[in-house]
Amino acid sequence: MIEIRALSRLYAGRTAVDRVSMDVERGEIAVVVGTSGSGKTTLLRMINRLVEPSAGTVRIDGRDHRDLPAHALRRGIGYAIQGHGLFPHRTVAENIATVPGLLGWERSRIDARVDGLLAQFGLDPAEFRDRMPRELSGGQQQRVGVARALAAEPAILLMDEPFGALDPVLRAKAQADLLAIQASTGTTIVLVTHDMDEAIRLGSRIAVMDAGRLVQYARPAEIVARPAAPFVEALLGPGERAFRLLALARVEEETEPGTAPGTPVAAEATLREALAESLWSGREALPVSRGGSLIGRITRAALARRAAGPR
Ligand code: ADP
Ligand code: MG
Q: What is the pLDDT of residue 177?
A: 84
How confident is the prediction for the chain on average, in pLDDT? 90
Q: What is the pLDDT of residue 171?
A: 81
Cβ–ligand 1 contact at 81 (below 6 Å) = no
Q: Would you tell me the crossing angle of helices 271-281 and 300-308 to the nearest 10 degrees?
A: 130
Domain(s) labelled CATH 3.40.50.300 in the chain stretch across 25-52+61-239
Q: What is the pLDDT of residue 238?
A: 63
How many angstroms separate the CA atoms of 106 and 101, rounded?
Answer: 8
How many angstroms separate the CA atoms of 88 and 95, rounded?
Answer: 9
In ligand 1, the atom with minimum distance to the C-alpha of 17 is 10
In ligand 1, the atom with minimum distance to the C-alpha of 45 is 6
Distance 285 CA to ligand 2 centre (A): 45
How many angstroms separate the CA atoms of 179 and 271, rounded?
Answer: 21
Distance 298 CA to ligand 2 centre (A): 42
Q: What is the pLDDT of residue 30?
A: 98
| pLDDT tens-digit map of 36-85 | 999 999 999 999 999 999 999 999 999 999 998 998 888 889 998 876 68
How many angstroms separate the CA atoms of 65 and 50, rounded?
Answer: 12
The fold for domain 25-52+61-239 equals Rossmann fold (3.40.50)
| pLDDT tens-digit map of 159-171 | 999 888 777 777 8
CB atoms < 10 A from the CB of 54, how many? 14
The CATH number of domain 243-307, selected from 1.10.3810.10, 3.40.50.300, 3.20.20.150, 3.90.1280.20: 3.90.1280.20
| pLDDT tens-digit map of 179-201 | 888 888 899 999 999 888 889 88
In ligand 1, the atom with minimum distance to the C-alpha of 39 is 6
Domain(s) labelled CATH 3.90.1280.20 in the chain stretch across 243-307
Q: Which ligand is nearest to the CA of 33?
A: 1
Cβ–ligand 1 contact at 13 (below 6 Å) = no
Q: Which ligand is nearest to the CA of 162?
A: 2
Cβ–ligand 1 contact at 40 (below 6 Å) = yes
In ligand 1, the atom with minimum distance to the C-alpha of 43 is 6
| pLDDT tens-digit map of 114-146 | 999 999 888 999 999 999 999 998 888 988 999
Q: What ranges in the chain are assigned the alpha helix state H?
A: 40-47, 70-75, 92-96, 98-102, 107-120, 125-128, 138-150, 168-185, 196-202, 220-225, 230-236, 241-247, 271-281, 300-308
Provide Rg for the chain, Cα atoms.
22
Which residue is closest in CA terms to ligand 1's atom 2? 41
Find out whether 17 and 8 touch, Cβ atoms under 8 Å. yes
